[in-house]
Structure 1
Amino acid sequence: MYKVLIDAGHGGKDPGAVANGIQEKDITLKVSFGIKQRLEADYEKVQVLLSRSTDVFLELKERTAKANASGADILVSIHCNAGGGKGGFETFRYTSASQASIKLQDTLHKAIMAKMGGTDRGQKAQNLHMVRESNMPAVLTENLFVDVATDADRLKQASVIDAIIDGHVQGIATYLGLKSKGKEVKSVTQERNINAPSGWAKETWEELTKKGFFDGTRPGAPITREEIAIVVGRVLKYVEQKG
C-alpha cells in the first residue's frame, strides 16, 4: 500500500493569494480533495492523506511533521501563483533534491501540462520549506496565477479544475507505477499534446488566433459552453468592426 500526502496550501486565517474573486486556499483544498477521491477510486493499493481537510490554518512545520510521521511515500503540495506576468504553470523541488524528487517533479509536471495546457513556466528548484523539510520525495505545484485575468478565468471553470486534478492523479500514478482498477494505466507520453494543433487544423487555427478569436493556447483541449460564448462574442465584434 502506497501512501501519498497531499498538502492543500494555506487555509484558515491565511487565504494565500487573493485576486479576481479567488482565494488560493479554496482552490488548493478543492484540488486536494479531488486528487484523493480519484486516486483512491481509480487505482489499487494507494492511500491518500491530506494535510488539511477543512478551512484551517496550519504552520508549515506542522504540515511537514504530519507528512514525516505518516510514513508517506511522496508529498505533493498544491498551490496557486501570484505576481502577474503571463501567468502559467510551474513546479518546484528542493535546491538539493534527491533523484527521486527530480523524477517525481518531471513526471508530475509533464502530466499536469498535458492535461491543463497553457503557459509552461518550467520545472524549478527553490529553498521552500515543504520540499526541504520532507523526508520523502516532494514537489510543490503552482497551478496558474490568481492575479492574471486569463488564468483566473480558467480557475473559475470546472473543466480546468478537473484537468488540474486529473494531471496530478496521472502523474502520481505514473510515478508510483500504480495499477488501475478498471483499465491499463497509460503513460503520459501516450496522451495527446493539447498545446499543439492537429495538422489538418493548423493553418486555420493560426489564422483565427492572429485575428484574436483565440488566445493561441490549448488548441487540442475540449471547449466549454462558456468558452464558445467568448469566441462567438469576439466573432460578432469582429464582424461589426468590419461592417
Structure 2
Amino acid sequence: MKTVWIDPGHGGKDPGAVGIGVLEKDVVLNISLGVKKRLEAEYEGVKVQLSRSTDVFLELRERTDAANKAGADLLVSIHCNAGGGAGGFESFRYTGASAASRSLQNVLHTEIMALLKPFNVRDRGQKAANLHMVRESKMPAVLTENLFIDVASDASKLKRKDVIDALIAGHVLGIAKYLGLKKKEEKPVSNLNRDIHVVSSWAASAWEEMTKNGYVDGSRPGAPVTREENAVMMNRLRKNLLQLIAGNREQLAEMEKRLQAIEAAEITK
C-alpha cells in the first residue's frame, strides 16, 4: 500500500493569496480533495492523507511532521500563485532535492501541463527553491503553484470546473505514474431499482422475436446473464445455423438433379 500525502496550502485564518473573486485556500482545498477522491477511486493499493480536509489553519511544521510520521511515499503541497505578470503554472523542488524528488517533479509537472495545454496556460517551468514543505519532508516532495490568483485570465480559469478538473487529473496522473500504480478494473453497474420481469421498451420487439424462436424462455428479461445462459443461447444458435446449412445443401442437391435431368432431356431431342 502506497501512502500519498497531499498538503492543501494555507487555511483558516490564513487565506493565502487573495485575488479576483477567489481565495487560494479554497481553490487548493478543492483540488486536494479531488485528488484524494480520484486517486483512491481509480487506482489500486494507494491511500491518500491530507494535511487538512477542512478550512483550518496549520503551521508548516505541523504539516511536515505529520507527513514524516505517516511515512508517506511522497508529498505534494498544492498552492496557487500571486504577483501579477502573465500568470501560468510552475512547480518547485528543494534546492538540494534528491533524484527521487527531481523525478517526481518532472513527471508531475509534465502530466499537469499536458492537461492545461488546451486552456492556454503558460508553462513557467520546473524550479528549485528553499521552501519549507519540500525541504523538511523526508520523502520525495514537490510544491505546485496552480495559476495566479491575481491575474485576471488565470483567476477566471480557476472559477471553471473543467480547469479545476484538469488540475486534479494532472496531479492524479503524475502521482500514479511516479508510483507505478495500477488502475482498478471497472465493474459493470446494474440498475438495482428496475423490475427484472418487465422488458425495456427499446428491447421489446427483439425480446419477443428471440422468445418465439426459442433462444430465450421469455422470463426475467431484465436479469443479468450468466455465462451458462450465454452458452445455452449460443448453442441454440449454433444448432439452428447447422440445420439451415444442411437444408440449403439438400436444396442445392435437388436443384442439381433437376438441372441434370433437363440437360439429359435436351440431349435426347
Q: Which has the larger radius of gyration?
A: 2
For 1:34, the aligned partner's letter is: G
For 1:62, the aligned partner's letter is: E
Question: Partner residue of 1:123?
Answer: 126
Shift of 1:182: 2.8
Output the CA distance in 1 between the equivalents of 2:165 and 2:73. Answer: 24
| Equivalent in 166, 169, 189 of residue 169 of structure 2 | 166
Q: Note if 1:175 corresponds to 2:178.
A: yes
Question: Partner residue of 1:45?
Answer: 45
Of 162-171 and 110-119, more deviation after overlay is shown by 110-119
Q: What are the superposed Cα offsets for residues 178-202 of structure 1, whole Å, 9 maximum, x if unpaired? A: 000037xxxxxxxxxxxxxxxxxxx
SS in 1 for 2:13: coil
Shift of 1:72: 0.2
Question: What percentage of aligned pairs have identical amino acids?
Answer: 69
Question: Partner residue of 1:72?
Answer: 72
Shift of 1:116: 1.4
After superposition, where does 1:1-243 map in structure 2 within 5 Å? 1-117=1-117, 118-182=121-185
SS in 2 for 1:11: coil
Question: Partner residue of 2:227?
Answer: none
The Cα RMSD (Å) is 0.7
Output the CA distance in 2 between the equivalents of 1:10 and 1:34. Answer: 17
For 2:3, the aligned partner's letter is: K
SS in 1 for 2:143: strand
SS in 2 for 1:18: coil
Output the CA distance in 2 between the equivalents of 1:100 and 1:79. Answer: 21
Output the CA distance in 1 between the equivalents of 2:136 and 2:63. Answer: 10
- The count of aligned residue pairs is 183
Output the CA distance in 1 between the equivalents of 2:113 and 2:134. Answer: 21
Output the CA distance in 2 between the equivalents of 1:18 and 1:141. Answer: 17
Shift of 1:3: 0.1
- TM-score, normalised with respect to structure 2: 0.68
For 1:116, the aligned partner's letter is: L
Give the helix-richer structure, 1 or 2: 2
Segments of 5+ residues of structure 1 without an aligned counterpart are 184-243
Question: Partner residue of 1:239?
Answer: none
For 2:32, the aligned partner's letter is: S
Segments of 5+ residues of structure 2 without an aligned counterpart are 187-269
For 1:60, the aligned partner's letter is: L
Q: What are the superposed Cα offsets for residues 161-218 of structure 1, whole Å, 9 maximum, x if unpaired? A: 00000000000000000000037xxxxxxxxxxxxxxxxxxxxxxxxxxxxxxxxxxx
SS in 1 for 2:68: helix
For 2:46, the aligned partner's letter is: V
Shift of 1:131: 0.1
- TM-score, normalised with respect to structure 1: 0.75
Moved over 3 A (4+): none
